[in-house]
Structure 1
Amino acid sequence: MKIDKYILSRIIIPPLLFIVSIGIFSIIAHEIVYEQEDWFDTETFSFLKAYSTDSVIRFFNFLTFFGSGNFLFPAYILLVLLLIYMRRRADAIHVSILAVTSTFIIYSSKLFFARPRPDLPLFDKLDTFSFPSGHSMGSFVFVCILIRELWDTELRGIWKWTFSVLLLIITLAIGLSRIVLRYHYASDVVGGFCLGLAYVLFYFRIEKMLKK
């Protein structure tokens, strides 16, 4: 049974998630971004608008900060310094590489797809491109790193699962905030999460191979 669980969790699930993530991202890029099939984005905006009270908007405007570079950049620096302090220099290097390369992927993807932002944002208008959502991918990658570090600790399993789920809820809420505030289309956010998951799975695999 232990061998079966290992094969499932280490050999079957990660490649399957990678393929599914790339597949969904590709479908969004082709059908929604290039072909401009906007029913998904339109329906999502309409649905969320009915629940976007002033208090909800204020909450998401606060939460969206945690997916921005103003938060993630110093957070990465603190994490890298902590790993160096713990004499885990190799891990600090890999976290640094993940931070830099994921940021490069975000901005290069935006330039490649060049999708305009939604009209009528609730706050400041942004001049950068929309697809994929940088807040979604950036926060997701950072959260995945935190979850992996969490599972390397000696915490009880129940606490590992609890904190992991909470971290994932936070990054999903950050993505949702981008739609509520009309900084992104729903497809931008889903695309950002898919691209983030695919890249994390790819990089973690490469990192594991390099450590052998």
Structure 2
Amino acid sequence: MKEQKFKHGIFLFISLVVFVLFILAFVNIVDELQEDEIKHFDDAVFTFIQSLVSDRLTAVMKVITYLGGVQWIVLFTLLVIILLLLYKKYSLALFLALTTSVGGGFNWVLKWLFKRERPDMEALIEQSGYSFPSGHSMGSFILYGSIAFILFRAFDYRYLKWISAITGGLLVLFIGLSRVYLHVHYASDIIGGFTAGGAWLTFCIAFYIHFYNKRRWKKHS
């Protein structure tokens, strides 16, 4: 029991460090955004992405970006929650429901606070609302990160754990890239979404693990 509690303490400490790093990264982006120092970075990314535009790639990016949209996130979240309930994983179902729904609310609040307009260029898809932080990036980081965490706990084999984590990470990355490619977000919006989503997901995972272990230890005491 002492060894388990020691490992639990190490996990919480690492979680705190990761959480703080995400927060500091987000604050740094906000500072540069308010001082207009990030414009050169955004312009450079746009210039590079523009050189890759083609009809075929645009079609692919539209599919990828849909996987980070509100409609798909809500539908996919409900599907996973139903599966978790069928397998009687009630705590994980609650974890996923609260993490994604509250995270979506946070994104709305942040957009309302910063009120950054979208890129002043012809978008390849229709998109409304404010730009920073990217809702697709933040939402996909939270959703697919949560599912990767759930699968990481569900799989017994280490290689399956890492496959789920890497797959989720790549999907989130490509969703972020698709938003810049389709001209509906600046690159800094994407990074802002990743850092905000990462901070929230780290907090939720640490919170879940902490109370899950406390309840388990209480049963065995």
TM-score normalised by length of structure 1: 0.91
Instruction: Please state if 1:170 is matched with 2:175.
Output: no
Q: Identity rate of aligned residues, in percent?
A: 28
* Superposed displacement of residue 159, structure 1: 2.3
> Alpha-carbon deviation of 1:7?
7.6
Tell me the distance in 2 between the aligned counterparts of 1:151 and 1:167: 11
AA partner of residue 197 (structure 1): G
- Residue 39 of structure 1 and its aligned partner are, at CA, apart by 0.8
Counterpart code for 1:150: L
CA 1:7–1:90 in structure 2 vs 1: closer, same or farther (change >3 Å)? closer
AA aligned to 1:51 is L
Residue 209 of structure 2 corresponds to which residue in structure 1? 208
How many aligned residue pairs are there? Answer: 209
5+ long unaligned stretches in structure 2: 215-221
Please tell me the residue identity of whatever aligns with 1:58: A
Give 1:35's aligned residue: 35
Amino acid in structure 2 at the alignment position of 1:55: R
CA distance in 1 between partners of 2:131 and 2:180 (Å): 11
Equivalent residue number for residue 19 of structure 2:
18
Distance 1:17 1:112 in 2: 24
Residue matched to 1:145: 146
Residue 63 (structure 2) aligns with: 62
Q: Which residue of 1 aligns with 2:136?
A: 135
Shift of 1:121: 3.6
User: What's 2:76 paired with?
Assistant: 75
Deviations 1:88-135 (A, max 9, x none): 222212211112100100111100100000022433442300000000
The answer as to whether partners of 2:155 and 2:161 remain within 8 angstroms in 1 is no
Question: What amino acid is aligned across from residue 14 of structure 1 in structure 2?
Answer: S
Which consecutive residues of structure 1, in runs of 5 or more, have no partner in the other structure?
none
Distance, in Å, in 2 between the alignment partners of 1:138 and 1:132 is 10
**What letter corresponds to residue 183 of structure 1 in structure 2?**
V
Query: In 1, distance between residues paired with 2:159 and 2:128?
Result: 44
Q: Which residue pairs with 2:217 in the alignment? A: none
**2:36, 2:101 → 1: CA distance?**
31
- The equivalences for 1:45-60 within 5 A come to 45-60=46-61
What is the alpha-carbon distance in structure 2 between the residues aligned to residue 60 and residue 155 of structure 1? 34
Superposed displacement of residue 143, structure 1: 1.0
Residue in structure 1 matched with residue 159 of structure 2 by the alignment: 158
Task: Name the CA shift for 1:163/1:53 in 2 (closer, same or farther; >3 Å).
Answer: same
Structure 2 distance, partners of 1:9, 1:165, is: 23
> Matches of residues 4-15 of structure 1 in structure 2 within 5 Å?
6=7, 10-15=11-16
RMSD: 2.0
Q: What's the CA shift for 1:79?
A: 1.1
Corresponding position of 1:44: 45
> Per the alignment, do residues 74 and 184 of structure 1 end up closer, same or farther by CA in structure 2, a change over 3 Å counting?
same
Deviation at 1:200, TM superposition (A): 0.7
TM-aligned CA deviation for residue 177 of structure 1: 0.2
Distance 2:106 2:163 in 1: 30
